[in-house]
Amino acid sequence: MAREKSPKIALVDYGAGNLRSVAKALERSNLTPVVTSDPSVVHSADGVLLPGVGAFRDAAQALEAAGLSNAIRDVTTNGRPYLGICFGLQLLFDEGTEHGITPGLGQLAGRVTRFPDKDENGDPLLVPHIGWNEVVYEGDHPMIQALPERDIYYFVHSYRPEPTDESIIAGCANYGGSFAAAVAKDNVFAIQFHPEKSQAAGKRLLDAYRVWLQES
């Protein structure tokens, strides 16, 4: 019996992510990562994954300096299944507010803001949000259809997205109050947490990404 083809994933390298751990996680889900900063490779891959950690302004500037901003805009508008992790989610929005206002890619309406210093009850909130937290999914995006209704993932972040259109929120977590932990729109699925650090739950998510790719 012929072995099932492993989809080729453009793992976008713009100097702002732990690519090795993400690549290993993709391989465990029978996906073939191609680490690249070449827009033509991004356009030709079966799927595109944009990771990233650090500061919003640095990540946005690094993506632009690498000549990848327009490639990501093209993919998220007309391309194949896109998976964003952490900054791969945040950079899709209109703007970030870390170290002043920085324009994002403008593919999703809204902004990225810091967690407040106090939770919804007025008690002090530790920022950054680091550790395991439950995400509850909702909606009918193909990724969500392949995932459990809720799962527990690993988070490391001080900022979270605030979508203007709440209909794109595909999953919520609670830290000082509810926040968007996943968004979905057409060929875009993006998450605030780190599947490469989330053990079995992370593998379930990347397995779901493989299924989405194969059915697209």
Catalytic annotation present for 27: no
CA distance 49 to 66: 16
Instruction: Verify whether residue 141 is a known catalytic residue.
Output: no
Q: Is the separation of the CB atoms in 206 and 26 below 8 Å?
A: yes
Does 86 qualify as catalytic in the annotation? yes
CA 142 to CA 1: how far, in whole Å? 28
Structural contact between residues 10 and 41, judged by C-beta atoms closer than 8 angstroms: yes
- Chain CA centroid to CA 216, Å: 19
Beta bridge partners of 113: 160
Catalytic annotation, pick one of 86, 98, 141, 157: 86
For residue 32, the surrounding DSSP H or E stretch is strand 32-36
Among 134, 149, 196, 215, the active-site one is 196
Task: Determine which one of 27, 138, 194, 215 is catalytic.
Answer: 194
3-class DSSP assignment, residue 79? coil
Which active-site residues does the annotation give? 86, 194, 196
